[in-house]
């Protein structure tokens, strides 16, 4: 078994392997994304950007605890104009490496989702991830777009129209809902090209001595090993509900975790908190572990494992 056996196709885009840098971990700096690519990532996702610059929440915004991370950064970013410049530089660095570039966007209205999508596409990303599920961003009624089937479908349709077939669109879903499969079906009906799942789980950590939540925002998004079984279940449910390719995200820190996601139905696997903990070198380690496990289990290609837990 060699690492070359791990190639996959995501929404028609070839990835040299199924491991993807998840959004929001290492920012948007082009040289940093290239470093991740050289470390072994099959694709890299830039930090989510909005139409206008956003300062985010005051510190403290990130806490490493026993079972992962909890954060409330608040989607701080320099805005789409600055993002497009960085994405163009990243694309130039990634293309010779054969690594795909995924842009990520968010907004506060359906119209702004469409506007920022149209601008980001000009940078030439291979795929576009639409973050409708961050716990820190809501519509005008205070509800995340991913929590309502109608709102999720409306955003999907608007972004697809703005994309005009120039780039595949992945919709990033939230686990903080009663029926993630229903949301998946809604975005499929609105012609999404794929789904990313899951975003973080809303949580809180309290400082016993200060007698108050540690994060300045009080609650934040929980990620890392603690949410992995939940993420696997969500991917499993989505795979049963729709025919779209899935990027499985949530607590992946080993080859076993990655293969578990694929067996649940994922086409590719996002890695986030493990990069924060170990650095970009985590991609090479997980790829080696995947190759060894595939040989042990008798698989020659990633596609042979996809969805086998449903058989």
Indicate whether 68 belongs to any domain. no
Indicate whether 231 belongs to any domain. yes
pTM: 0.95
Indicate whether 267 belongs to any domain. yes
Indicate whether 156 belongs to any domain. yes
Count: domains in the chain: 1
- CATH number of the domain within which 169 lies: 3.20.20.70
Residue 278: CB partners within 8 Å, gap ≥ 6? 253, 285
* Catalytic residue annotation: 134
Outline where 139-254 has alpha helix (H). Answer: 149-163, 180-189, 228-241
Q: Calculate the alpha carbon distances from 129 to 23, 104, 208 in Å.
A: 9, 5, 38
Indicate whether 170 belongs to any domain. yes
Indicate whether 31 belongs to any domain. yes
Indicate whether 279 belongs to any domain. yes
* DSSP code of residue 128: E
- Reading the chain (311 residues) residue by residue, the pLDDT tens digits are 455 489 999 999 999 999 999 998 876 789 999 999 999 999 999 999 999 999 888 999 999 988 899 999 988 899 999 999 999 999 999 999 999 999 999 999 999 999 999 999 999 999 999 999 875 555 554 578 999 999 999 999 999 999 999 999 999 999 999 999 999 999 999 999 999 999 999 999 999 999 999 999 999 999 999 999 999 999 999 999 999 999 999 999 999 999 999 999 999 999 999 999 899 999 999 999 999 999 999 999 999 999 999 98
Domain that holds residue 277: 3-51+75-201+224-310
Q: What is the pLDDT of residue 142?
A: 59
Element (H, E) at 130: strand 127-131
* C-alpha–C-alpha distance, residues 76 and 139, integer Å: 17
Q: What is the pLDDT of residue 4?
A: 47
Indicate whether 232 belongs to any domain. yes
């Amino acid at each position: 078994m060699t690492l070359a056996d791990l190639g996959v196709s995501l929404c028609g885009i070839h990835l040299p392997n199924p491991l993807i840098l998840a959004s929001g971990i290492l920012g948007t700096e082009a040289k940093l994304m290239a470093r991740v690519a050289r470390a072994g990532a099959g694709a890299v996702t830039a930090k989510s950007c909005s139409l206008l610059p956003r300062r985010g929440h005051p510190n403290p915004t990130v806490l490493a605890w026993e079972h992962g991370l909890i954060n409330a950064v608040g989607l701080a970013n320099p805005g789409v104009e600055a993002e497009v410049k960085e994405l163009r530089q990243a694309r130039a660095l990634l293309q010779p490496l054969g690594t795909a570039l995924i842009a990520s966007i968010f907004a506060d209205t359906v119209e702004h989702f469409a506007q920022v999508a149209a601008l980001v596409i000009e940078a030439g990303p291979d795929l576009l991830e639409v973050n409708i599920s961050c716990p820190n961003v809501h519509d005008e009624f205070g509800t995340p777009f991913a929590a309502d089937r109608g709102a999720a479908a409306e955003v999907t349709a608007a972004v697809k129209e703005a994309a005009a077939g120039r780039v595949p669109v992945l919709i990033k879903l939230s686990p903080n809902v009663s029926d993630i499969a229903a949301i998946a079906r809604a975005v499929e009906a609105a012609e999404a090209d794929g789904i990313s799942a899951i975003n973080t789980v809303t949580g809180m950590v309290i400082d016993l001595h200060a007698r108050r939540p540690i994060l300045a925002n009080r609650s934040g998004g929980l990620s890392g090993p603690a949410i992995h079984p939940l993420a696997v279940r969500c991917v499993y449910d989505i795979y049963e509900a729709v025919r779209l390719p899935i990027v499985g995200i949530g607590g992946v820190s080993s080859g076993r975790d990655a293969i578990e996601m694929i067996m649940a139905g994922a086409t590719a696997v996002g890695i986030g908190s493990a990069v924060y903990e170990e650095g970009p070198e985590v991609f090479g380690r997980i790829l080696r572990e995947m190759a060894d496990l595939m040989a042990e289990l008798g698989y020659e290609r990633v596609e042979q494992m996809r969805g086998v837990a449903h058989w």
